Structure 1
Amino acid sequence: MVRKAKVEFDESPPDFDPNNPYGDPVAMLEYREYLVREKFIQIETAKIIRERLRWCYRIEGVNHLQKCRHLVQQYLDATRGVGWGKDSRPHELHGPKKDSD
């Protein structure tokens, strides 16, 4: 038996037809797992940015409004629309995600 030098993960969404969700139940479950995995990645990314923002506030002290502004914007972008149950809500309530340069 030969070991692979590098582990590769398929990160693309599975082939799933939303018009006929029960046509392929395995694809439906894989798609659900894909959505949950992506949601957890978004949540953990927001947690990491929040922790960096806390450290920036502590280090910069009274200048945190100017020095940590970029982290605040990253945190707001990362938390917009993230969380359970927000996918079916209209974008006016939680706002669409912006693509930043």
Structure 2
Amino acid sequence: MGRKREVVFDEEAPDFDPAKPYKEPVAMMEMREHIVREKWIDIETSKIIRDKLRWCYRIEGVNHLQKCRHLVQQYMDSTRGIGWGKDGRHPAQHGPKDSLTG
């Protein structure tokens, strides 16, 4: 027996309406759990890339700027948007955009 290629989760709770989140409490909780699960997956993925980057820096020595550049780019891309602040929330929960912030 081999490992599964990928795990597939449901994208959203079927009855969740972002405009009225408290209408279906069960769907709201499922959506919240989904968002938290996706955040933890992103965080753990960035930790794995960070460990690979540390190992690359250690192995390559003075050549790390050239040899580890792809890992630096992956790590920077994986850490964007991760967090528990406003930018880490579901887009439907951000509220109206300010004209000053873009």
Percent identity between matched residues is 66
User: In 1, Cα distance between the equivalents of 2:35 and 2:51?
Assistant: 25
Structure 1 outlier segments of 4+, above 4 Å: none
User: In 1, Cα distance between the equivalents of 2:51 and 2:80?
Assistant: 17
User: Which stretches in structure 2 are left out of the alignment for 5+ residues?
Assistant: 89-93, 98-102
- RMSD, matched Cα: 1.9
Query: Equivalent residue for 2:75?
Result: 75
2:51 is the counterpart of 1:23: no
Q: 1:11 offset after TM fit, Å?
A: 3.0
Secondary structure in 2 matching 1:47? helix
2:12 is the counterpart of 1:13: yes
User: In 2, Cα distance between the equivalents of 1:36 and 1:84?
Assistant: 9
Q: 1:9 offset after TM fit, Å?
A: 5.6
Query: Equivalent residue for 1:36?
Result: 36
Could you list the per-position Cα deviations for residues 43-70 of structure 1 after superposition, in whole angstroms to 9, with x for gaps in the alignment?
0000000000000000000000000000
TM-score w.r.t. the length of structure 2 is 0.74
User: Which stretches in structure 1 are left out of the alignment for 5+ residues?
Assistant: 1-5, 91-101
Q: Which amino acid aligns with 1:17?
A: D
User: In 2, Cα distance between the equivalents of 1:57 and 1:29?
Assistant: 42
Secondary structure in 1 matching 2:37? helix
